[in-house]
């Protein structure tokens, strides 16, 4: 039965096999779609798509670099080295205030996108949970609900982190008072905010992820595909 040790082990192995199978199917579908775009669908394929992806990738790299520098120079030190992005937002407000607000929105919304992408990448590589890709005309309702729930789950941490990171720019606002005053001096949780535990954890995870993705940039089943094939054949 399931409540025995052998039953739980067999159920866990069954779940792992299913996730590996879905991972292999997803990666195979990606390869098939790329192959079709290079062969039978090349006349209908928009050549601007890879160029647009390259531009978005470069912009994402720049925003990520600015976030890392901002965390190191402003968020982590007890006495900030420089306001960095706060000065940039203030400079925009001097001649067109809307651009400063849009810049804050871009940097904050980028964190939400990273949360969704990171969850998908983590699930695809480590098989802890089912992946829910978002593709045009090919997205299930369950994937929509999962990613919406993930965005809602990440919304509060993003608001808190953005209020701490841009507190010079958001000075005298309600969210700054709530996050940088009330939360910071709570009886138990205030120690975590004052010690900047979450900020250090974010920076460490970010750097470890860069190293890992630099060593293994491509999603691939690798040698596991052979063992997966043998396990499926034995059933």
The pTM assigned to this predicted structure is 0.78
67-104 confidence digits (pLDDT tens): 999 999 999 998 889 989 999 898 888 888 788 889 99
Looking at residue 227, what is its pLDDT? 64
Q: What is the mean pLDDT of the chain?
A: 81
What is the C-alpha separation between 90 and 101, in angstroms, rounded? Answer: 10
Residue with tokens 């808190």, as numbered in its chain: 160
What is the C-alpha separation between 176 and 183, in angstroms, rounded? Answer: 10
Taking CA atoms, 233 is separated from 15, 23, 194, 223, in Å, by: 16, 17, 55, 16
What is the C-alpha separation between 34 and 218, in angstroms, rounded? Answer: 15
Four-residue CA torsion sign, 66, 69, 72, 74: negative
200-234 confidence digits (pLDDT tens): 999 998 888 888 888 877 766 555 666 666 656 66
Six token digits for residue 52: 């647009």
What is the C-alpha separation between 90 and 190, in angstroms, rounded? Answer: 29
Looking at residue 106, what is its pLDDT? 93
Q: Tell me the backbone φ, ψ of residue 86, rounded to 5 degrees.
A: -60, -40
What is the C-alpha separation between 186 and 171, in angstroms, rounded? Answer: 20
23-50 confidence digits (pLDDT tens): 777 777 777 777 777 777 777 777 788 8
């Amino acid at each position: 039965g399931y409540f025995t040790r052998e039953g739980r082990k067999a159920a866990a192995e069954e779940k792992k096999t299913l996730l590996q199978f879905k991972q292999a199917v997803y990666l195979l579908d990606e390869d098939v779609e790329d192959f079709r775009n290079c062969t039978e669908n090349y006349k209908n394929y928009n050549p601007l798509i890879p160029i647009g992806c390259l531009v978005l990738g470069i912009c994402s790299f720049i925003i990520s670099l600015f976030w890392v520098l901002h965390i190191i120079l402003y968020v982590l030190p007890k006495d900030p080295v420089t306001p960095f992005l706060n000065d940039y937002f203030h400079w925009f407000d001097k001649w067109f205030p809307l651009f400063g607000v849009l810049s804050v929105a871009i940097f904050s919304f980028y964190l939400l996108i990273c949360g969704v992408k990171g969850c998908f990448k983590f699930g695809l590589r480590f098989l802890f949970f089912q992946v829910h890709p978002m593709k045009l005309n090919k997205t299930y309702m369950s994937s929509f609900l999962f990613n919406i729930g993930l965005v809602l789950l990440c919304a509060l941490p993003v608001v808190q982190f953005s209020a701490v990171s841009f507190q010079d720019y958001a000075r005298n606002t309600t969210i700054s008072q709530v996050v940088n005053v009330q939360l910071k001096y709570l009886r138990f949780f205030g120690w975590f905010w004052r010690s900047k535990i979450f900020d250090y954890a974010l920076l460490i995870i970010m750097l470890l992820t860069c190293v890992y993705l630099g060593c293994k940039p491509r999603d691939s089943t690798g040698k596991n595909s052979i063992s997966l094939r043998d396990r499926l054949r034995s059933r």
